[in-house]
Structure 1
Amino acid sequence: MIQVLRGSWALLLGLTLIMLGNGMQGTLLGIRGGIEGFAPFEMSIVMSSYFLGFLLGSTFTPELLRNVGHVRVFAALGSTISAVLVIYALLPDWHAWALLRVVIGFCFSGVYITSESWLNATSTNETRGQALSAYMMVQMIGIIAAQAMLNLADPGGFVLFIIPSVLVSLAFTPILLTAGHPPAFDKTQPLSFVRLYRASPLGCVGMFLVGGIFAALWGMASVFGTTAGLSVGEISIFVGCIYAGGLVFQFPIGWASDRMDRRLLILVLAVVAGLAMVPAAIFPLPFWALLPVAVIAGGIANPLYSLLVAYTNDFLDNSDMAAASAGLLFINGLGAIGGPLITGWAMEVFGPPGFFLYIGVLMAMLALYAGWRMTRRPSLSSDQTGAFAPLSPTASAIAVEAALGAAQEDGPQDHGPQDHGPQEPVERPAT
């Protein structure tokens, strides 16, 4: 790990500052939207727009990198993010915010792709797994710390918009001054969604549902807090608990993932999370009772993303890994776009408990589908599966591919039969 920090400290420091800025702006908009009198559904459009921009960024940034280069793309996106963070306060209108969220989502997606390709290129086969672990840890810590910074000033003023703008501007200084030769960016041949679905139906359906869950937690948690009448300090603690749970639960769930049928683990986790949402969806819980619900929701939703990626990887040939990573992220992005919209509608109809109702329903759908898939084919033994790789739902296809590659080096190389069902025997893919 010391070798990783020595070679990537500037990138990791810059990413910490970037995540502080991104974590602040997401929660701050939900709070400021309540101050401005925006309805929950209006704010859901604002929050959903980020994921639309993020999906567009993941699609078009690779072409920008090949045509313009990493340094120019990195600098341009960073400058745009810094500007948008200030413009939010200048244009307190939800229509303008929605457009700005598309722009900033595009930019953050491009920043992640650029930085992850740099991190991947500066790592060796021996250090890549540690580098990616440090990268994911930095992301989560940055988001959690950002929630505490919301208490530094009045969310009705300009200061809390200026702080993340400054942080993001400073983030690019160590990165651009210490970055070596920009890495090559190869074009990945796409894997059709039909082939991806045939490889793992649960992986595809699960990624779509988890995308909707994560987007609701990321985008609408602060909107829920504002609608429920929580203070700024309480909202920051509530959102922080969501990400703290995601950080802590990754490790025990990853340990279990490598030792049991991953479909059963997905089913159990979805059931636990769904049941945990029931009290909050029925009763107006006091603040202290909301915190364990937040920990469970985030603590299960984040590892479920990594678990579904690992499960899908169990049925992929090495040569399909990069294309499959891009396909899974696209499916996840589609689910993420709809997540805040449906959550906003649920909160308009059922009030603040609609936030938990939506998450509970999607968890129930995931549990039911995982249970049905368990009837379609026998489970793989632990020696037929690759290792679990902790991932953030905000990671790009580059990080997902690199993490899966590192996990395959730690796990067996003989993959099980494709997930078509027991009635469709197929040959094992070569690895």
Structure 2
Amino acid sequence: MLRLAIGIGDHMLHFATQTWITSFSPKDRLGRNISLYGLFFGLGFAAGPLMTGFLKVNTTLPFIISSAISLAAWLTVWLLKNERPEHDSDSSSFFGTMKRFGKVFKYAWVAFLPPFGYGFLEASLNGNFPVYAMRSGIGVDAVALLLPAFAIGGILSQLPLGILSDKLGRRNVLLVVTLAGFISFTAAGLLENSTTGLLICFFIAGTVVGSTFSLGISYMADLLPKQLLPAGNLMCGIFFSFGSISGPFIGGLAIQWLKGISFFYVISTMLLLIFIALVAVRHEGSTQQANSV
């Protein structure tokens, strides 16, 4: 029950934060602002597992520290002005809500694929990769290096890629990073007997695809008018959750049934499919079309 409550609160927190940033950021700084959000998101994920070291001191200490950080964040929220994003006039009814979500999916569905891919990728690496590594003869020490290498790569590239997306466009940057991620994980599948090779591949992969979540949110904000951003951000979170749920499931099936085929090919295939979708779908003028509907 506690984990369920934390999950609900966590999703509400991300939804509110993303909607706030996308609703009130100027277009020429949206990528930068969302990338800062993604940067701290990544720092939290990287720092969280370090809490297990406090178990040696006291088994309750990680929970006490986490609750103290949450309390500090809650107190700072009282210093902020309460902003209200634009919303549709028909959003109060059930059918109006369904219409709004249908409109969001129609014009921005391709932007939900990068958050889905990031959730799939992150959950698969953290959940499936240690199991696959043990079965493949990759040592515990190597796993302890590889996963942080991916996280560090994502942290280092968040802000530069966000700024670059403001200059070159979100879709163009997403095309490059998903293709580079596909190549990186394909190379990891070919070099999985080399710890050094895997370390390089993981770092490069983290550098390019570690920003797909924040880039996907920025791309969604480009495709939708402001009154649809709350629904769009909610769907970004839903697709991220879908990825987090399906990633370990599909990865586990691949490890169990696809003997002789590298686990990394599952991730690279997923990234390739997202790249193909981005290439195939063009959404120029979607915001104007959505406004006119």
TM-score of the superposition, structure 2-length normalised?
0.73
Give the number of equivalent residue pairs. 274
**Other-structure match for 2:291:** 429
**Other-structure match for 1:281:** 189
Task: Compare relative contact order (CA 8 Å, sep 6+) and give the higher one, 1 or 2.
Answer: 2
Match of 2:63 among 165, 190, 206: 165
**Other-structure match for 1:5:** none
User: Structure 1 residues 117 and 183, CA, compared in 2 at 3 Å: closer, same or farther?
Assistant: farther
Q: SS of 1:314's equivalent? A: helix
Q: SS of 1:268's equivalent? A: helix
**Other-structure match for 2:274:** 366
User: Do structure 1's residue 339 and structure 2's residue 247 form an aligned pair?
Assistant: yes
**Other-structure match for 2:9:** 110
Alignment of structure 1 residues 205-220 onto 2, 5 Å: 205-220=113-128
Alignment of structure 1 residues 19-38 onto 2, 5 Å: none
Give the AA of the match of 2:187. P
Determine the C-alpha separation between the residues in 2 that align with 1:363 and 1:318. 29
- Structure 1: runs of 5+ lacking an equivalent: 1-76, 81-103, 381-416, 420-425
Q: SS of 1:429's equivalent? A: helix
Determine the C-alpha separation between the residues in 1 that align with 2:238 and 2:18. 22
Give the AA of the match of 2:66. V
Give the AA of the match of 1:168. S
Give the AA of the match of 2:42. M
Encode CA deviations 1:192-211: one digit per residue, 9 max, x unaligned.
Answer: 44312221242134443443
User: Do structure 1's residue 234 and structure 2's residue 102 form an aligned pair?
Assistant: no
Alignment of structure 1 residues 28-427 onto 2, 5 Å: 80=2, 104=3, 106-111=5-10, 113-114=12-13, 136-147=38-49, 162-172=60-70, 174=72, 180=78, 189=91, 190=97, 192-350=100-258, 354-374=262-282, 380=284, 417-418=285-286, 427=289
More helix by share: 2
User: Structure 1 residues 116 and 263, CA, compared in 2 at 3 Å: closer, same or farther?
Assistant: closer
Give the AA of the match of 2:12. I
Determine the C-alpha separation between the residues in 2 that align with 1:261 and 1:182. 30
Determine the C-alpha separation between the residues in 2 that align with 1:136 and 1:152. 26
Q: 1:134 Cα deviation (Å)?
A: 6.4
Determine the C-alpha separation between the residues in 2 that align with 1:277 and 1:179. 40
Greater radius of gyration (CA) = 1
> In 2, are the aligned partners of 1:117 and 1:183 still within 8 Å (CA)?
no
Determine the C-alpha separation between the residues in 2 that align with 1:206 and 1:373. 14
Q: 1:364 Cα deviation (Å)?
A: 0.8
TM-score of the superposition, structure 1-length normalised?
0.52
RMSD: 4.0
Encode CA deviations 1:81-130: one digit per residue, 9 max, x unaligned.
Answer: xxxxxxxxxxxxxxxxxxxxxxx265144146359859999xxx79xx99
> In 2, are the aligned partners of 1:224 and 1:352 still within 8 Å (CA)?
no
Encode CA deviations 1:223-278: one digit per residue, 9 max, x unaligned.
Answer: 34444444544323222112111111112222221222433332222111111111
